[in-house]
Amino acid sequence: MSKKLTKRSEDYSKWYNELVVKADLAENSGVRGCMVIKPYGYAIWENMQAELDRMFKETGHENAYFPLFVPKSLFEAEEKNAEGFAKECAIVTHYRLKNDPDKEGKLMVDPEAKLEEELIVRPTSEAIIWNTYKNWIQSYRDLPIMINQWANVVRWEMRTRLFLRTAEFLWQEGHTAHATEREAIEEAEQMMHVYAEFAENFMAVPVVKGLKTESERFAGAVETYCIEALMQDGKALQAGTSHFLGQNFAKAFDVKYANKEGKQDYVWATSWGVSTRLMGALIMTHSDDNGLVLPPRLAPIQVVIVPIYKGDEQLDAISERVKPLIKELRAKGISVKFDNRDTHKPGWKFNEYELKGVPVRLAIGKRDMENNTFEVARRDTLEKEIVPADEVVDKIAALLEDIQENIYNNALNYRKEHITKVDTFEDFKEVLEVKGGFVLAHWDGTPETEDKIKELTKATIRCVPLDSQEEAGTCVFSGKPSNRRVLFAKAY
Amino acid sequence: MSKKLTKRSEDYSKWYNELVVKADLAENSGVRGCMVIKPYGYAIWENMQAELDRMFKETGHENAYFPLFVPKSLFEAEEKNAEGFAKECAIVTHYRLKNDPDKEGKLMVDPEAKLEEELIVRPTSEAIIWNTYKNWIQSYRDLPIMINQWANVVRWEMRTRLFLRTAEFLWQEGHTAHATEREAIEEAEQMMHVYAEFAENFMAVPVVKGLKTESERFAGAVETYCIEALMQDGKALQAGTSHFLGQNFAKAFDVKYANKEGKQDYVWATSWGVSTRLMGALIMTHSDDNGLVLPPRLAPIQVVIVPIYKGDEQLDAISERVKPLIKELRAKGISVKFDNRDTHKPGWKFNEYELKGVPVRLAIGKRDMENNTFEVARRDTLEKEIVPADEVVDKIAALLEDIQENIYNNALNYRKEHITKVDTFEDFKEVLEVKGGFVLAHWDGTPETEDKIKELTKATIRCVPLDSQEEAGTCVFSGKPSNRRVLFAKAY
C-alpha cells in the first residue's frame, strides 16, 4: 500500500479516510458500520482515557459498569419523557443458534429461543442507569451519586465514517444524581469545563463552550452544554456534551428522595459524554498532507530514534551510544522508540513516523557518531537541526512543550480567522460558501428560522457561546429582533 | 438492610451472594443474567486491570478494539473447526424500533428493519479477530502480532451468579499470531505464568498451573493451559486460561504468511483470557463471616481513618492531627480515606469497613488525642493495638505488606491441607464428600472414565498439573494403567 496521501486541498474527506487507515489508527471491519481500532489508534485513545479518567476522579466521580442491554420496556418509560429519541438500535430477539448447521453448513437461529421481551443494545444508558438509581436513592444521605462508565454503545447509523460516525463506538458516560437543581446545573457546567480543559490542554484543540438550542438539545435534557471545535476544512465538530436533565429522568423512572425535613422530592440529574469521535477531532485539527500531527501529551511514541548504518558493527556502536539517552528520556517520563529493524530502510522509517505523527524524530548516522551529535526533527514544522549529544535531552524536553503549544496556537489562529460576524443573509451564505468556519449572526430564537437556515445553507446553530455578549440586532434571516449572536456552522 | 451476613458454615453460597451485595460490589440488574458492577466493586476490578495491563505490556502486547458483533457467517467458518462451540448467544436480528409506540404505549420492533444476516453479540472474539488478521498478515515481517482487548462479552447462561457466571461479563482476551509453533507454545505458556504471578502476588490467591484434558479444553484449542484456585468451601475455580490454538483458526480463516524463503504457511495462534470471574475468586478465597478481606495490593481503600468525637470542635482538632498523616501516607502511594461523615456513628463505620474489607483501620478519639496515639486495627486477623503517632506510618506500611503475605499464606495452607492423594474410588468419593478440595488420583487417560467419574461424583479433572511427576499407578476408577496423577475437584 502506498504511504502517499491525497492532498487536503484536493479532497479533504478522502485525505481523512486515507490517513486513518494508513497511519494504522483504525479500519472498517467485516461488520457493517463497526470499526477495528488498531493498536496505534487505540494507544492514543488509551492516553485520552487516562487523562479524562484522572480528571473525572479529581472532580469526585467513581467508575462503575451497567448492562449492555436495555429491555424494551425501559425504553418505553423513557419514551414518554423524550419523544425524539432515536429508534435506530441493534435489537436482540433470540438467544440461541440451532445446535447443528444445516446441509449447506449454515447455522440457523433457533426459533424456539425467542426472548419474551426484546433487548436493545444500549445507544446510551440513561434508562438502565436510572432504573438502577431508583433502588439506590432513598434519602438525601444517598446523594449526590457521581458515576462514570467507560463503555461501548451502538447506534444504527446508515452512513458511517471511521471515528466520526460508527455504529459501535467507545465512550464514557457520566450519570449523576443530586438533591438540588443548583447542584445539578453546577455539575453539568463543571463537566463542560473539564471537557474544554482536556480538549485544549491535551488535544491542543481550541473549543467554544456554549449552550445548545432547543432543537439541537439531547432528548430529555433541559439544557445541553457543549464544546465545539473547528476542523481545517471549515466544518465544526461537536467534541463533547454535558446535559442538565432537570427532573425528567427522575420522573420517568420515579426516583424520589427524602430531604433533611423528610419531604419527598424528585432527584435532579445530569449526564455527559465524550467518545472515540474525539479521535476524529484530533486528526482533523492538526494533521497535514504528510500525515498525522499528534500533540506530545497524547502521542503514544513521543520520540523515535532512527539509526542510519551499514552492517551490524555500526548498528552496535549506535545502539551503545543511544542506550543511555533512551534511559534518561524514559526517566523523565518521555516515551521513546528505538527503531533498529533491519527490514526497513531509514528513508522508509522517516516517512512512516511522519505519517504516524511522532512529535520528535532523532536520526544518528556515521557523521553524528564522529561529531557526537544527533539530527533532531520536529513533526509539526518539519524543521531539522544538528544538536550536540549532551544537549539533546533538554532539547527534546523543550521541543515537546513547544510542539504542544505551537499546534494549539496554529489551531487557535485558524479558528480566529474563521469566526466571521455577518449581518445579512447574503453575507451569511457567502461566508459559509467561500470561507467556511463559524459564523456569528443574530437569530430570532425560533426553531422555524433555525430549520429554514439549515435547509437553505446546511448550517446549524452549533451553540450559543457562553461568552457571548448582549447586543441588539435583527435576525439574519427573518429580520426579527434578536439580543444575542449565536454560532452557526456546517458540522460533522 | 442489615449488614449482618449469613455464616459461611451455615450456607456458603448464601454467604457469598449476600456479601457481594452488602459490600457494594455488584447487584443483579433488571436485565436477566446481567449484573451492575457498583463503584466499590469496579474500583477493585480497575486495580486488577491496571496490574494485568502493565504485565501484558511488559511482555510485549498492545491493546486494540474489535467489533462487538460477529456476523453469523463468521461463526460458520469457525464452526467447521470447533464443533463444540456454545450456541447460547444473544442474537441481533433487527435494527430499528417503530417510530411511535402503539395505543398501549408499547414500542414495537419494526419488522421491515430485519437484518439480512444476523449478528451474534461476541461470546469471544476469535472469529472476528482472525477474520481481521487475515488482512494484516502477508509475510513473516508482519509477525508476531501480540494484541490484547479489554471488552464485554455475552454468553446466554441459564443459571447465573454475580461475578461467577453472568450473561454479560467483562474480560480481557489476548489473541496472538506467530510464525512458528514453538513461539506460539511459548506465548501460551508465558501468559499462564503471567496469570499465575498476578493471582499469587496481587490477589494473594495460590494457584495450580496445569493443562486441561481434551474434554475440558477450549473448542478449537490444541492445548489449554490454566490456573486453578481453591475456594474456602473446597470447590475449585478456574481463574484463567491460555490456549495454544495450533493452526486451527489460521486454517478456518485462511491466514497464511510467506516465510523468509518465500514459502507459504499457516500462522500459529494463541488466545488467553481472565474475566470479572476473578472477583469471585478474590472474594471466596479470603473473606470471612464479618465480610470481605481484600489484599492490600488491590484494595481501593488501603487505610480508613475513623474519628471518634463529640461536636465540631473535637472533630476539627482530630482533622488537624490527621491531615499531615494523610499527606504522608499518600506520598508513599498508600490510599487513605478519612471518614468524617456526621451522618453515621463510629460503630456503624467500623462494621462498614470491616464488611468492605479495608485492610487497615485507624481510629482516633479523645484519649488518643491526649496520648498522641492511634488505634490501629488489621482486617485479616481483627487484631488491634495502640500505636504512637510518630510510628504509625511505618506501622501501616509494614502492616500492608504483612496482611498481603498473611492472607496468601492462609490460602496456601488451606490448599495444602486440601490436596489429597487417593488410590481407591472409595477414598476418592469419601474425600470429595467429607473434606472437599483437590484430589490427586490416577486416571486412565480416556474421556469415558472422566465422564463417568463426573457423573458419579460431580468432580472434573481441573488439570494435569505442570509440576506433576511421572509415577506408575492404576486408574482410580477403571483400574487401567496410568503414569501420572491428575487433579480432580468439584468446581465453580
Class of domain B303-399: alpha beta
Read off the pLDDT band of A81 (50, 70, 90).
low
Instruction: State the Cα–Cα distance between residues A3 and A355, nearest whole angstrom.
Output: 8
Q: What is the pLDDT of residue B100?
A: 78
Q: Where are the domains of chain A?
A: 12-71+126-286, 303-399, 419-489
* Cβ atoms B291, B22 nearer than 8 A: yes
What's the pTM? 0.97
Q: What is the pLDDT of residue A489?
A: 98
Question: For chain B, how far is it from start to end, CA to CA, in angstroms?
Answer: 28
Widest pairwise Cα distance in chain B? 82
> If you average pLDDT over every residue of chain B, what do you get?
96
- The torsion angle over the Cα atoms of residues A217, A214, A492 and A435, rounded to 10 degrees, is -150
Could B79 and A105 be called an inter-chain contact, meaning their C-beta atoms sit closer than 8 Å?
yes
Among residues 280-319 of chain A, which lie with CB inside 8 Å of chain B? none
List all residues 6 or more positions away from B233 whose beta carbon is below 8 Å from its beta carbon: B8, B12, B284, B436
Instruction: Provide the 3-class DSSP secondary structure of residue A109.
Output: strand
- Is residue B223 over pLDDT 90? yes
φ and ψ at residue B167, rounded to 5 degrees: -65, -50
B186 CA to centre of own chain: 23
Instruction: State the Cα–Cα distance between residues B396 and B373, nearest whole angstrom.
Output: 13
Report the DSSP beta bridge partners of residue B232: none
Read off the pLDDT band of A86 (50, 70, 90).
low
Could B168 and A43 be called an inter-chain contact, meaning their C-beta atoms sit closer than 8 Å?
no
* Cβ atoms B487, B440 nearer than 8 A: yes
Residue type, B406: N
Q: Which residue in this structure is represented by grid cell 463444540? A: B84
Instruction: State the Cα–Cα distance between residues A45 and A276, nearest whole angstrom.
Output: 7
- Whose CA is closest to B60, among B138, B129, B147, B126? B147
B contacts of A92 (beta carbons < 8 Å)? 90-93, 121
Q: How far is B66 from chain A (nearest CA, A)?
A: 5
Q: Give one word for A204, left, alpha or beta, with left for phi > 0 and alpha for psi -120 to 50.
A: left
pLDDT digits (tens, 9 = 90+) for B132-182: 999 999 999 999 999 999 999 999 988 999 999 999 999 999 999 999 999
Instruction: State the Cα–Cα distance between residues B465 and B83, nearest whole angstrom.
Output: 27
pLDDT digits (tens, 9 = 90+) for A225-254: 999 999 999 999 999 999 999 999 999 999
Widest pairwise Cα distance in chain A? 82
A66 in contact with chain B, both atoms CB, cutoff 8 A: yes
User: Within chain A, how many helices (H) and strands (E) appear?
Assistant: 13, 24
Residue of B nearest to A90 (CA): B95
**Angle of the B392-417 helix axis to the B277-286 helix axis, nearest 10:** 90
Grid coordinates of A268: 435532579
* Residue A438: DSSP 8-state: E
> If you average pLDDT over every residue of chain A, what do you get?
96
Residue B22: Cβ within 10 Å count: 18
A163 in contact with chain B, both atoms CB, cutoff 8 A: no
* Cβ atoms B222, B214 nearer than 8 A: no
Could A69 and B141 be called an inter-chain contact, meaning their C-beta atoms sit closer than 8 Å?
no
Instruction: Provide the 3-class DSSP secondary structure of residue A92.
Output: strand
Interface test with A, best of B95, B131, B155 (most A CBs within 10 A): B95
Q: Is the dihedral of CA A71, A75, A78, A80 positive or negative?
A: negative
Q: What is the pLDDT of residue A343?
A: 86
pLDDT digits (tens, 9 = 90+) for B476-490: 999 999 999 999 999
Instruction: Provide the 3-class DSSP secondary structure of residue A52.
Output: helix
pLDDT digits (tens, 9 = 90+) for B327-370: 999 999 999 999 999 989 999 999 999 999 999 999 999 999 99
A48 in contact with chain B, both atoms CB, cutoff 8 A: no
Q: Which residue in this structure is represented by grid cell 508465558? A: B190
**Angle of the A181-201 helix axis to the A39-58 helix axis, nearest 10:** 140
Residue B95: Cβ within 10 Å count: 24
Instruction: Provide the 3-class DSSP secondary structure of residue A307.
Output: strand
B contacts of A151 (beta carbons < 8 Å)? 152
Q: Give one word for B163, left, alpha or beta, with left for phi > 0 and alpha for psi -120 to 50.
A: left
Interface test with B, best of A47, A65, A146 (most B CBs within 10 A): A65
Instruction: State the Cα–Cα distance between residues A34 and B163, nearest whole angstrom.
Output: 28
Q: Which residue in this structure is represented by grid cell 450473561? A: B167
B363 in contact with chain A, both atoms CB, cutoff 8 A: no
Residue A360: exposure state from Cβ atoms within 10 A (0-12, 13-18, ≥19): buried
- Is residue A67 over pLDDT 70? yes
Read off the pLDDT band of B79 (50, 70, 90).
low
Instruction: Provide the 3-class DSSP secondary structure of residue B65.
Output: strand
Q: How far is B170 from chain A (nearest CA, A)?
A: 9
Instruction: State the Cα–Cα distance between residues B379 and A23, nearest whole angstrom.
Output: 51
Residue B273: Cβ within 10 Å count: 23
Q: What is the pLDDT of residue A83?
A: 60
Percent of chain B whose predicted confidence (pLDDT) is above 90: 92
* Cβ atoms B334, B302 nearer than 8 A: yes
Residue type, B31: V
Q: Is the peptide bond before A144 cis (omega within 30 degrees of 0)?
A: yes
A247 to A179, A242, A255, B310, B340: CA distances (angstroms): 10, 15, 9, 38, 30
Could A68 and B121 be called an inter-chain contact, meaning their C-beta atoms sit closer than 8 Å?
yes
A contacts of B53 (beta carbons < 8 Å)? none
Instruction: State the Cα–Cα distance between residues B14 and B24, nearest whole angstrom.
Output: 16
Read off the pLDDT band of B219 (50, 70, 90).
confident
B46 in contact with chain A, both atoms CB, cutoff 8 A: yes
A112 in contact with chain B, both atoms CB, cutoff 8 A: no
* Cβ atoms A76, B105 nearer than 8 A: yes
Q: What is the pLDDT of residue A99?
A: 80
Instruction: State the Cα–Cα distance between residues A252 and B439, nearest whole angstrom.
Output: 55
- Whose CA is closest to B270, among B255, B253, B251, B248? B248
- Is residue A376 over pLDDT 80? yes
B14 to B7, B381, B459: CA distances (angstroms): 9, 23, 22
The ipTM assigned to this model is 0.96
Nearest to B69 among A34, A99, A119 (CB): A34
Residue B342: exposure state from Cβ atoms within 10 A (0-12, 13-18, ≥19): exposed
Q: SS3 letters for B177-210? A: EECCHHHHHHHHHHHHHHHHHHHHHCCCCCCEEE
Instruction: Provide the 3-class DSSP secondary structure of residue B337.
Output: strand
Mean pLDDT of A172-179: 98
Instruction: State the Cα–Cα distance between residues A248 and A78, nearest whole angstrom.
Output: 9
Q: SS3 letters for A449-486? A: HHHHHHHHHCCEEEEEECCCCEEEEECCCCCCEEEEEE
Residue type, A86: A
B52 in contact with chain A, both atoms CB, cutoff 8 A: no
Grid coordinates of B469: 511427576
Instruction: State the Cα–Cα distance between residues B22 and A144, nearest whole angstrom.
Output: 20
Could B109 and A95 be called an inter-chain contact, meaning their C-beta atoms sit closer than 8 Å?
no
Read off the pLDDT band of A85 (50, 70, 90).
low
pLDDT digits (tens, 9 = 90+) for A98-152: 887 778 778 899 999 999 999 999 999 999 999 999 999 999 999 999 999 999 9
pLDDT digits (tens, 9 = 90+) for B226-249: 999 999 999 999 999 999 999 999
Q: Which helix (H) or strand (E) holds A397?
A: helix A392-417
Grid coordinates of B309: 468525637
Residue of A nearest to B106 (CA): A76
Instruction: State the Cα–Cα distance between residues B251 and B133, nearest whole angstrom.
Output: 12
- Whose CA is closest to B275, among B312, B246, B238? B238
- Is residue B275 over pLDDT 70? yes
User: Which CATH number, 3.30.930.10, 3.40.50.2000, 3.30.360.10, 3.60.9.10, labels domain A12-71+126-286?
Assistant: 3.30.930.10
- Is residue B23 over pLDDT 60? yes
Q: What is the pLDDT of residue B445?
A: 96
Mean pLDDT of B443-454: 97
pLDDT digits (tens, 9 = 90+) for B397-436: 999 999 999 999 999 999 999 999 999 999 999 999 999 9
Q: What is the pLDDT of residue A219?
A: 86
Grid coordinates of A55: 480528571
Overall fold of domain B419-489: Translation Initiation Factor IF3 (3.30.110)
Residue A434: exposure state from Cβ atoms within 10 A (0-12, 13-18, ≥19): exposed
Nearest to B92 among A64, A91, A97 (CB): A91
φ and ψ at residue B23, rounded to 5 degrees: -85, 10
Among residues 20-39 of chain A, which lie with CB inside 8 Å of chain B? 29-31, 34-39
B398 CA to centre of own chain: 27
Grid coordinates of B335: 490510599
Least confident of A54-58, A333-337, B340-344: B340-344
B191 CA to centre of own chain: 14
Interface test with A, best of B107, B122, B170 (most A CBs within 10 A): B107
Read off the pLDDT band of B257 (50, 70, 90).
very high
Grid coordinates of B397: 506500611
B152 in contact with chain A, both atoms CB, cutoff 8 A: yes
Domains A303-399 and A419-489 share a fold: no
